[in-house]
A = this chain, B = another copy of it.
Amino acid sequence: MAGDARAALLDRCVAFLKENGFSEQSLREIAAGAGTSHRMLIYHFGSREGLLAEVVRRVEDEQRAALAALATGSDDPVEVSRQFWRRLADPALAPAERLFFEIYAHALHGRSWTEPFRASVVAAWTGPVEELFVRLGFDETESRRRARLGLAATRGLLLDLLVTGDRELLDAAADLFARLVTAPRSQ
């Protein structure tokens, strides 16, 4: 099937880049890491930037999958929030998350191949997370705020976890946050 080899190649490139980052990897190094030649990457993706654009799409897809998994939790919102953190804090996901934040950094500098990432990195999450808070009884405005805060806090905690590895403390902080943000209005 056409494009089959291409998809498999992209898989291997993404796997390699999760472990090594892309900022300091040349096209040839990426090719070697994926078990092919730089010639093949150019053939399938057109250019180095073309490859990176596909990698970004793939990481976006994985985010969307994580988002879909979020919906299938229990109906206790604190428990949903806890499960979500437990899932994200899985050490097996660390390489993927390092890559995510690396792409995020490049997106902040406006690289054109990060365009779809910029558009979806926040927007894709707001709807479903807002919905969670609406179900808790918050009005629309308040739910929007809490959703945005929840997304931010989770990503901030993840950044901390990835650089310090202080799992217990950050588990406790995430748990605390889940309780704070789901509790009824404090003022």
> Could you tell me which A residues sit within 8 Å of B by CB distance?
20-21, 23-24, 98, 101-102, 104-109, 111, 118, 121-123, 144-146, 148-149, 151-157, 159-160, 162-164, 166, 169-170, 172-174, 176-177, 179-181, 183, 186-187
Of the residues B102, B166, B177, contact of A109 by C-beta under 8 Å: B102
Which residue of B is nearest A161, CB measured? B152
Instruction: Please give the count of copies of this chain that the complex contains.
Output: 2
Q: A121 contacts which chain B residues (CB < 8 A)? A: 163
CA distance A160 to B150 in the complex (A): 11
Given contacts A21-B109, A145-B176, A186-B179, are A157 and B163 in contact (CB under 8 A)?
A: no
Of the residues B109, B123, B162, contact of A98 by C-beta under 8 Å: B109
Asked whether B145 lies within 8 Å of A156 as measured between CB atoms, the reply is no
CA distance A144 to B174 in the complex (A): 12
Given contacts A102-B105, A104-B105, A156-B155, are A149 and B173 in contact (CB under 8 A)?
A: yes
Q: A156 contacts which chain B residues (CB < 8 A)? A: 151-157, 159
